Every structure is written in structure tokens, then in C-alpha cells.
Amino acid sequence: MLDWLLVIAAVVCAYQVMRAQRLILATLWLASTSALVATLLYRLGAPEVAVMELSVGAGLVTVLFVFAFSIVGEVTLDPRGIVPRPLVWAMILAIILLMGWFILPLTNSQNPVVKVPFSTMLWDQRGLDVLAQIVLIFSGAIGLLGLLAEREIVVGRKPRPTVALTSGSSQPEVLDGRWQITANETSVEEN
Amino acid sequence: MAAFLQNPLNVFALGVLGLLGMGIYGLLITRNMIKMVAVLQILVKSAVLALVLAGKAGGNINLGQSLAATVIVSDTIVAVIGLALGVQIQRRFGTADLKEIATLKG
Amino acid sequence: MAAILILAIIGLPWLGAVCVWLVGDQRPRTQHYLAAGFSIAAGLAALVLLLFVSAETVIRIPAGNFFGDLTFVPDGLGAFLAAVATIVGCLAVIFSIDYMRGEEQLGRYYSFILFFIGAMAGLVLTSSLLFLFVFWEITALTSYALISFYNDDPKAVAGGIKALIITQVGGVGMLAGALAAYANTGSYEIGIFLEKAHTLPAATLSVIAFGFLIAAAAKSAQTPFHTWLPDAMEAPTPVSALIHAATMVNAGVYVLARFYPAFEDVPGWRTAVILVGSISALLAALMALVANDLKRVLAYSTISQLGYMVYAIGVGGVFASQFHLLSHSVFKALLFLAAGAVIHSVGTRDMRQMGGLGKDMPFTRSVFIIGGLALAGLPILNGFWSKELVLEAGLVDGPVWAFGLMVFVAGLTAFYTYRMTSMVFGGSSPAERHIHDAGQAMKASLGLLAIGTLTTWLLAGPFGQMLSTSLPAHQLHAVGTWVVVEEVVTAPATLLALGVIALGLAAWQWRKHLAGLGRLLGGFGQLATDGFGFESLNRGIVNATLKAADTIRPLQTGLLNWNVVGILGGLVVVLAWLAWSTGIGR
């Protein structure tokens, strides 16, 4: 019974993510979806990944979103969708039915229960996965730094100081070091 | 129907399908790039649930957990990069509405 | 030992490519000498490898279940072509020291050339069909990058893209053949494929055979895929000498020679090969008669001589074709580099603006004449011996009409060679200009290639020996050099060919007397200048593709939601097909 409630609540929260007008509300609905999914995972018998899901989904992602729209502001207009509604319903129905066709029979399979503790499984048998995750985290961090750089990166030739000869002086005067088209500075009255 | 309800794992299967459906609805409807990242997160939750469910049904729940942990980490990185891109898009184009930023048209 | 040498031949140029790029464009002298050093080292390694030729797999690197093993076999065919590639490569790099002096972006230039040399050596030494395709594609990539080296010149970029597209279309034929071979024999190994070829169903073998023929024709610029080579002459001349005369275009001929035992019994294949070779030779020779751009004439002559090699394989003379490949690589590289020296000092490629250069550039004129005599097929030079072997093989084993055609083309070859030489070096020079002869590095490469042109025919015996011992599937019979000499000198084909060549030379010498005939053939000349309609065919195909692209342009809305609809639609199709085909039921 509890599981049914949890599932329905999770689906409702997920729906509310889409419907929310303000991004902060969407983020809160996302966090609650995370919490409910974490509980579901615990009920399935997977406490470790439930904790991971809770801390990452309800914690880290929420902070990320708040950070993101603290930079850019949070108003969304939520206009009409572009894809016509009947097509949307048709696609959802098709995919859910086909996926259900594949997934639902699997829950009936009778398999012997393998008792391998989680830490052994993760570090011994799936060690390469952990290594890949570490690499991924590093590249994600570097990517983030690169993407959020403040200064503009100008691609072009090295700027040379432009030289303009002002009439009367024998020394060329060096202007600032950017590419510029200098105006022709000959003074007319000094012929 | 009764047999269907007997098996305790079927609830979770329905949960997977429900979240999947919501995720797809979001993909097709959302017009804000930053909200799109949130929709992707919902799809990831459905995947995580499915992996652990498969692990439980196959008998080796810890294998399911390990794979689910990997998926959580990688999709969080995806969210990070996605948000960074969304922020940059909003800065460059002034809006995050995908109709305005459709420069890849034609 | 052979394993280390093979790794050196492929690895040293690639290492050199990275080093030259890392040195940076601020130090051009270092780049020049580094590139020369690495290429000379690879050339020496290739020469030493010739002593270790054998038919066994010396390197085997497993690359996973799907990709098979990366294997290298230093057999006669592979080692010889690797030696040609690396030696002509190092001579071209040495030539570039003078030719590219003062040019920008040398790092890009040298790294691509070195990358190409390593890939070409890998292509001929590997015995895995899949990795043959991989090296094939690497050579195509580097060729494109080098043709478009002057990437602010739209003609160069257009030429590069044309070369890339045409050779890639051919590459599809090769990939299809490789995958079909894998599907039917369970392995990518060339040796296994050659053994089991006769057990494959006839339809599959035909598909593979014609797929490889298309790939080889596209790569070696044979009809109907020959249009890319003349436009690829926008590349810097050492690149033209290396890639488009001596090595990459030989890859197609190499593939045909390597797989000949498997395909010789496929009905219609040999005739198709003979047709492709002889028609290319004829059309290219005709187009060379009317071209005015020096490098274009040489490009057309390359297509023509490759036609000879392809024709030789079609009639079954694998040794003759490879021997002609050796001679052609040497004298064509010589001609291209000499032309490069001329172009470098005159500043234009148009032959009508040259003339009388013989007085100002004596060394270049001498080596150009040596190359030209070899191209025309006059006695003593290596071109003569190999061309006569080809014609002999054609007379003995092939259809008579093809033989007659090839003899006629030999006459045409002599004609346009003499025309080219006299337009550039003969006659009187127009108004005064400042001409200097070739620089030191240029002279070094040219001199070595000229010596090669005079002497490589002496290798006929040992070369044949090497091929016959290490290529068991081909069943070649090797004979000594002097037997070959005797054979050629006493064959009737030789006399006939010499006669026609003399006719060709005489026709140019007394062209004023033949002016009437010239006017008669005037319309034909216009047809030749337009490329016999193949250029219009290319343009037509390009326009049709662009029009098709324009009609499906509205599908690309740029809106993410519609793209998601597309993705999910594909997912629905895949799931539905899976559900239907596996029939998962409750």
C-alpha cells in the first residue's frame, strides 16, 4: 500500500515540475521527486543507492539549479508547447505500452538470490566503472570552469600596435595595442 | 489482475513507466532550456529505478545498485554541463526559450 | 627484426609528425631538418626491411573481438611498396626544404606529409582487411589536407574536397568488400581470404571483386573516377610528386595486385579491369595533348600510366604491372619535382608562358629530359623495360584490341611528352625575366631520382625473385634480370611499340606539316579540353545532390521539441520491430 502511494506521489511531483511557472518551484518539486524515488529505492532493498540518490538528487542538483538561476534570473513565460498535443499523447502512449510490454514480464522471473555485499561488488567487480566516474567528474569540473568563464575569448591575429604619423612630429606615435582602423590624420592647414 | 497485484515488484515497474511517461511529456512540451535539464533528471530517476528493479528481479541486487550508482554520477555531470550551457545561452541570447535560440534552422 | 623494422617504418614518420608540430612554426629551420631526418630514417628502415622479406605474420596486435587482429606481413609486394613510399617520401621532403622556404604553417605541412608516409607504409604492409581500410582512409584524409594546404585559395579547397569525396565513395566499395569477406570467412586476414576465396558463393565474390575494383579505380584516378587528380594539382608540388604520382595513387593498383588470385576467376572481372585501364589510358593521353598547365599534363600522364598498370593486372601480368609501378614512381616523381623547380622559379604553371628555359636551367632541363624519355618509353631507361613487359603480357594473354589501343597510347605518350618538353625548355624565351636554377636540396633529390630512372630496371631479377617467394597465392615465376632483358629485346611487341613511339616523336617534330590534320581534329581537341563530358557529369551529380538537400531542408526546424519527436519516433520504431521479431509474450 505504501509503495502505491509513493509511486503515485512521485509521478504527481514529476508532473508538477513541468507545470511550475517559476523555476524555484520547479526545483523544489524536483527535490521532492528525488526524495520519493529514494524512498522507493530503499523499499526495493537498495539502501546505499537510495542514500546516493537522496543526497545527489535532492541536495546537489537543487543547489546547482539555484546557482544557475541566481545568475540568469528565474522568470519563465511558459508559453504554448510547439508540438501539437495529440501527437504528444500518442507518443507517450506508444512508448509506455511498448516499454511495458518489455519490462512487466521481467518481474515474474525466478532467479536465485546472489549475496554479494555492495562494497565488494562496486569496488572489485565494477572497479572500472568507478575509475570512469572519477575521470568523468574531473572532466565535468573542467568543463564547467571553461563554460562559465567570464572573459570573452577573442580568436584572431596578435594585435600589433598601430602607428600614426601626426604631422609635424618626427616620432611615430604608438596608439593602443588593438586592431583599429586609424583615421587619416593629415592636417590640411599646414601645406 | 489479481496475479498482477500479487507480485510486489510490479508497483515499481509501474513507477518506472510513470516517471518515463512524465519525462517524455516534459521533453516534448518544455520550452525553457533550464527546465529541460530538470526534465532530464526525471528521466534519469526512472532509469535508476529500472536498474535497481532489474537487479532485484535478477537476484543480484548489488549489481543493480552499482550500475545505478554509476548512472547517477554520470547524469549529474550531464546536469552540471547542461546547466552551464543553459546559463551561457541565456547570457548570449538574452532568453532561454528554445524558439528564440533556434539558429540551427534549415 | 622485421617486426622492429616495420614499427620503425610506420612509427618514425608518425613520431616525426608530432615532433615537427610541437616544435612550432617559429623555428622553420628546425622543422625542415627534423622532417628530413625522420623521413630519411624511415627510408633506411624500409631498405633494410627488403632483406627480411618473408610471407609470415611478424606483428600481431589483438584489437578486440570485433576488429580482429592488427597484423603486418613483410611480403615482397608490401615491402617493395613501403620502400618506394618512404624513399620517394624522403626525397620529396628534402626537395621541400628549398621549395617551401619562407612559407607559413610548415608545421601543418610537414606533419601531414610524415603522417601520410607512415600511413601509406602501413597500408601496404598490413594483412588485415579492416586495418587496410583504416590506413586507406588515413591516406585520403592527409591527401585532402595537403591538397587544400593553401586554404585561402578557393581552387585549392575545391580541389581537395573533390578528391576527398571521390576517393571516399570508392572507399565504401572497399569497406563493403571487407565486411562481406569477414561475414563469409570469419576473419579479416588477407591470407585466409585468398585461400578461401573459391569457396565463397559466386554472387558474394562478385560483389567483393567489383567493390574492390571501384575502390581501386577511385583511388588510382581511373575512369570514371579520374576527374579529381587534375584538380588536385593545386597542392604544393612536392605533395603532388609524393602523393599523386608515386604513392597514394598506387594504392589502388596495389589492392588489385594483392587480391588478383581471389578475383581472377570472377566472370567479367578481368574484362572490366582491362576496360577500365585501357580507356583511362586513352582518355588521359588525349586530354594531355591539349592541356596547357604543366602539372595538369603530368597529372593526365599519371592517369594514363596507371591505366597501363591496371591493364597489366587485367591480363594477368602482375609482375609486369608492379615493375611498371616501380619505374613509374621513380620517373614520375622526378618529372613532378623538376616541374616544381621550374614553377618555383618562373612563378606560373602555364606552359605557354614558359619557353627557352633550357639555357637558364641546364640541370633541371637534363633531368626533365631523362624523365621524359623514361615516360615515352625509350630504350635503356626504366620506363622502356617495364612498358614493354606490360605490352608483352598484353599481347600474350589479353584481347588484341586492347593491345592495339595500348600501343597507340604509347605513341600518344611520346607525342605529348615531346610537346611538353619543348614548350617548357625549347624555343626562345619571351621578354626578360629572372630565372635561377634549382637550389641545392632540390638538385640533390632530382639527381638521385635521375640516377634511379637510369638504373632501377636492373632490379628486375631480384624483384621478381622477392615477389615469387613471398606471394605463394599468386604463383609467379621469377627469372633473372638478363633473362628479362633478352625477353624484352627479342619480343615482337617491342619493335612495334618502338615504331609507334618514333612516329609519335616525329609527329611533334614535324607538326607544322601536319597542320591540316590538326585542323581536322580541332573539334575533337575541344572535346578533350572539356574532359570528354566527365566534368559535366560531376557537376550534374553535385547539382542534383544540392537540389535534393534543399528539398529536405524544411525538415530541419532547429526546434528541440521537434528533434525529440524524431528521436522518440525512431525509438518507437525500434521497439516495435523488436517486440514483433522476438515476440515476447506473457
Residue A4 near chain C (CB below 8 Å): no
Residues of A with CB below 8 A from B81's CB?
A: 140, 143-144, 147
Q: Is residue C88 part of a domain?
A: no
- Identify the closest residue of chain B to C554 by CA–CA distance: B106
pLDDT at C346 over 90: no
Residue B102 near chain C (CB below 8 Å): yes
| Average pLDDT value over all residues in chain B | 88
- Identify the closest residue of chain B to C571 by CA–CA distance: B24
**Residue C400: per-residue pLDDT:** 86
Residues of B with CB below 8 A from C556's CB?
A: 104-106
Closest CA–CA distance from residue C552 to any residue of chain A (Å):
20
Residue A87 near chain C (CB below 8 Å): yes
From CA A41, how far away is CA A50, in angstroms rounded? 5
Beta-carbon separation of A105 and C586 below 8 A: yes
| Average pLDDT value over all residues in chain A | 79
- Name which of C303-307, C500-504, C567-571 the model is least confident about: C500-504
pLDDT at B73 over 90: yes
Interface list for C 490-509 with A (CB within 8 A): none
**Residue A181: per-residue pLDDT:** 39
Q: What is the model's pTM?
A: 0.74
Q: Is residue C443 part of a domain?
A: yes
* Domain around C378: 274-511
The shortest CB-CB distance from C571 to any of A81, A82, A95 is to: A95
Beta-carbon separation of B56 and A125 below 8 A: no
Q: Which amino acid is at C484?
A: V
Portion of chain C with pLDDT greater than 90, in percent: 25
Closest by alpha carbon to B37, among B76, B94, B93, B95? B76
- Do C433 and C304 belong together in one domain? yes
Interface-testing mutation among A80, A82, A104, with chain C (most C C-beta atoms within 10 A): A82
- Identify the closest residue of chain C to B105 by CA–CA distance: C558
Portion of chain A with pLDDT greater than 90, in percent: 38
Domain ranges of chain A: 2-118, 157-191
- Between residues A180 and C551, which one has the greater pLDDT? C551
The shortest CB-CB distance from C579 to any of A82, A83, A101 is to: A101
Q: Is residue C267 part of a domain?
A: no
- Are the C-beta atoms of residues B45 and A37 closer than 8 Å to each other? yes
Q: Is residue C28 part of a domain?
A: no
pLDDT at A191 over 50: no
Strand locations in C9-168, DSSP E?
Answer: 59-62, 69-72
- Name which of A178-187, C500-509, C539-548 the model is least confident about: A178-187
- Name which of B31-40, C92-101, C208-217, C467-476 the model is least confident about: C467-476
What is the tens place of the pLDDT at every residue in C138-172?
Answer: 999 999 999 999 988 898 999 999 999 998 988 89
Interface-testing mutation among A5, A40, A69, A134, with chain B (most B C-beta atoms within 10 A): A40
Residues 6+ apart with CB under 8 A from C29: none
- Are the C-beta atoms of residues A78 and A20 closer than 8 Å to each other? no
- Are the C-beta atoms of residues C467 and C76 closer than 8 Å to each other? yes
Interface-testing mutation among A18, A83, A89, A109, with chain C (most C C-beta atoms within 10 A): A83
**Residue C396: per-residue pLDDT:** 82
Beta-carbon separation of C565 and A91 below 8 A: yes
Closest by alpha carbon to C7, among C114, C126, C184? C126
**Residue C431: per-residue pLDDT:** 62
Give the number of other CB atoms < 10 A from CB of residue C283: 23
The shortest CB-CB distance from B105 to any of C558, C564, C568 is to: C558
- Name which of A57-66, C65-74, C424-433, C536-545 the model is least confident about: C424-433
**Residue C430: per-residue pLDDT:** 67
Residues of B with CB below 8 A from C560's CB?
A: 36, 98
Show the cell assigned to B91.
Answer: 547570457
Residues of B with CB below 8 A from C558's CB?
A: 102-106
| Average pLDDT value over all residues in chain C | 86
Show the cell assigned to C552.
Answer: 529536405
Ramachandran quadrant class, A155 (left: phi over 0; alpha: psi -120 to 50; beta: rest) = beta
CA atoms C208, C214, C218, C221: torsion sign: positive
What is the tens place of the pLDDT at every residue in A47-99?
Answer: 999 999 999 999 999 999 998 888 877 666 667 778 888 999 999 999 999 99
* Domain around B13: 4-102
Parallel/antiparallel/unpaired status of strands C59-62 and C69-72: antiparallel
Residues of B with CB below 8 A from C566's CB?
A: none
Beta-carbon separation of A61 and B54 below 8 A: no
The shortest CB-CB distance from B83 to any of A6, A68, A116 is to: A68
Closest by alpha carbon to A7, among B10, B37, B29, B38? B10
Angle at A166 between CA A164 and CA A169, to 5 degrees: 120
Parallel/antiparallel/unpaired status of strands A173-174 and C59-62: unpaired
Residues 6+ apart with CB under 8 A from A136: B73, B74, B77
Q: Is residue C230 part of a domain?
A: no
**Residue C510: per-residue pLDDT:** 76
Q: What are phi and psi of C439, to 5 degrees?
A: -75, 180
pLDDT at A182 over 70: no
Q: Is residue C58 part of a domain?
A: no
DSSP-based three-state secondary structure for C381: coil
Domain covering A2-118, topology: Four Helix Bundle (Hemerythrin (Met), subunit A) (1.20.120)
**Residue C40: per-residue pLDDT:** 92
- Name which of A31-35, C249-253, C511-515 the model is least confident about: C511-515
Average confidence (pLDDT) over A100-112: 83
pLDDT at C258 over 80: yes
What is the tens place of the pLDDT at every residue in B82-96?
Answer: 998 888 888 888 777
Show the cell assigned to C254.
Answer: 596495389
- Name which of A70-74, B41-45, C413-417 the model is least confident about: A70-74
pLDDT band, residue C266 (cuts 50/70/90): confident
Give the number of other CB atoms < 10 A from CB of residue A52: 20
Show the cell assigned to B87.
Answer: 546559463
DSSP-based three-state secondary structure for C406: helix
- Are the C-beta atoms of residues C484 and C461 closer than 8 Å to each other? yes
Beta-carbon separation of A82 and C565 below 8 A: no
Closest CA–CA distance from residue C565 to any residue of chain B (Å):
7
Q: How far is CA B9 from CA A106, B2, C60, C121, in A?
A: 10, 14, 50, 60
- Between residues C478 and C467, which one has the greater pLDDT? C467
Show the cell assigned to C24.
Answer: 612550432
Residues of A with CB below 8 A from C568's CB?
A: 91, 95
pLDDT band, residue A179 (cuts 50/70/90): very low
Beta-carbon separation of C576 and A98 below 8 A: yes
From CA C487, how far away is CA C480, in angstroms rounded? 11
Give the number of other CB atoms < 10 A from CB of residue C451: 14
The shortest CB-CB distance from B65 to any of A37, A48, A68 is to: A48
**Residue C440: per-residue pLDDT:** 83
DSSP-based three-state secondary structure for C404: helix
Residue B18 near chain A (CB below 8 Å): yes
- Name which of C98-102, C269-273, C474-478 the model is least confident about: C474-478
Beta-carbon separation of B105 and C556 below 8 A: yes
Indicate which CATH number applies to the domain containing B66.
Answer: 1.10.287.3510
- Name which of A91-95, A166-170, C231-235, C310-314 the model is least confident about: A166-170
Interface list for B 22-41 with A (CB within 8 A): 22-26, 28-32, 34-35, 37-39, 41
**Residue C486: per-residue pLDDT:** 76
Residues of B with CB below 8 A from A144's CB?
A: 80-81, 84
From CA C348, how far away is CA C346, in angstroms rounded? 6
Bridge partners for C235 per DSSP: none
pLDDT at C499 over 90: no
Closest CA–CA distance from residue B33 to any residue of chain C (Å):
9
- Identify the closest residue of chain B to A63 by CA–CA distance: B80
Interface-testing mutation among A80, A92, A98, with chain C (most C C-beta atoms within 10 A): A98
Write the ipTM: 0.91
Beta-carbon separation of A95 and C565 below 8 A: no
**Residue A77: per-residue pLDDT:** 66
**Residue C248: per-residue pLDDT:** 83
Q: Which amino acid is at C232?
A: A
- Are the C-beta atoms of residues C123 and C84 closer than 8 Å to each other? no
pLDDT at C112 over 70: yes
Average confidence (pLDDT) over C405-428: 87
From CA C401, how far away is CA C395, in angstroms rounded? 10
The shortest CB-CB distance from C584 to any of A87, A94, A101 is to: A101
Q: Domains in chain C: how many in total?
A: 2
The shortest CB-CB distance from C553 to any of B28, B98, B106 is to: B106
Average confidence (pLDDT) over C460-471: 78
- Between residues A178 and C385, which one has the greater pLDDT? C385
**Which chains have 3+ CB pairs within 8 A of C?**
A, B
Residue A183 near chain B (CB below 8 Å): no
What is the tens place of the pLDDT at every residue in C1-50?
Answer: 888 888 889 999 999 999 998 888 888 888 888 899 999 999 999 888 88
- Do C493 and C566 belong together in one domain? no
**Residue A162: per-residue pLDDT:** 52
